[in-house]
Structure 1
C-alpha cells in the first residue's frame, strides 16, 4: 500500500472509532434533542467499515501480488546463482585443462631443434617475432629441412639399392667366370699331363 492509502485508512479508522464511542455514549446517557439519531450514526459506521473492508481487500491483493513478485525475483536470483555457479565450475574446469596443457610435455620440446639463436642468425627477419610465431617458424624450417633430408635419404636408398643390384650382378658374373676358369683348368689338366709326359 502507498503512504497515502495508509494515511486514508488511519483517518477512516479514527473516524470509525469516534463514531463507535459516540454510539456507546448514546447508549449510556439519555439522548438530548439535538443529538444525532443512533441509526444515522450506525449507517455512517457501516459506510466506514465498508471503506475499511475495501482497503483491507486491496491491501491483501497487493500483498499477494508483492509475494508473487518477490517469489519471481527470488526464483530469478536462484537461477542467476545457479548459472553463476555453473560458470565458476566451467571456469575452474577450463583453468585445470589449461594448466594440464601447459604442464604437459609437448612433442616439439622433445624434438632436437635448432636453437633460437642459430635460427635467428640464419633468418634475421624473425627477430621482431614473438615466441609463438618464432617457434612456428622454427618448426616450419625444421619440417622443410627434414623433408629435404628425407628426400635425400630416399635418393641415397635408391642409389644404394642400385649399387647392391649392380654388385650382385658383377659378383654373379665373377662367380660364373671363376666357374668357367675352374672348368677350363680342370679340362686343361690332361693336356698339361700329356705335355709333362712328353717333355720328359
Structure 2
C-alpha cells in the first residue's frame, strides 16, 4: 500500500518507483495485474537491482548504498501502463521532505505568449518540486532567481507530472532549489496546463 516512504509515477510502459531514505530491508509491492514486468533496474544507481516476482507481489532487494533523498527503480512493463497502476501509485509530494504546496498556477491556452508562460512566486522560495497536470514531452522548464539568468531543468528520464528540484552541494544532490521565477516553454500545439509548486 502507498505511504510516505515511497511514491511512483508512470509514462508509457515505464513505471518509476521512488523509495525515500531506503536504509535496509526489502521492498514489497503488489503487481500491476494483467501487465508483466519485463525489466527492473535502478535509475540513479550503478549497481544491479535484485528482484523477483512471488505470486501477486514484486520483491526488491535494498541496494548496498541507497541515494540519500530517493532511490529510483525503473520498471519496463509489457504493456502501456493505465489507471490500474493506481494500485500502488503515490505522489512523491506526499513525502514531508517536499514541504507544502505554496502555489497553484492554472494556465489557459490563450495565456501562452510565444509558446512561453512565466510564473513569478513574488519572492525567492526554496522550491522542492513542480507538479504538472500533463505528462508532456513537449514541455521544457527553466528557473531563475532574478528573472535574468536562467537555468534549464534536465527533465530526461523524468515523468513531467512530478519533478523534483535539487541543488548540487558538496558532491551530492540536495532537495530544494532557491528560485523566484519559473518559465515553461511548450513546443508546437498549445494546451491548458496546471502547475503545482512545492516548497520547504
Structure having the higher Rg: 1
Higher relative contact order, chain-length normalized (CA < 8 Å, sep 6+): 2
Q: Which has the higher helix share?
A: 1
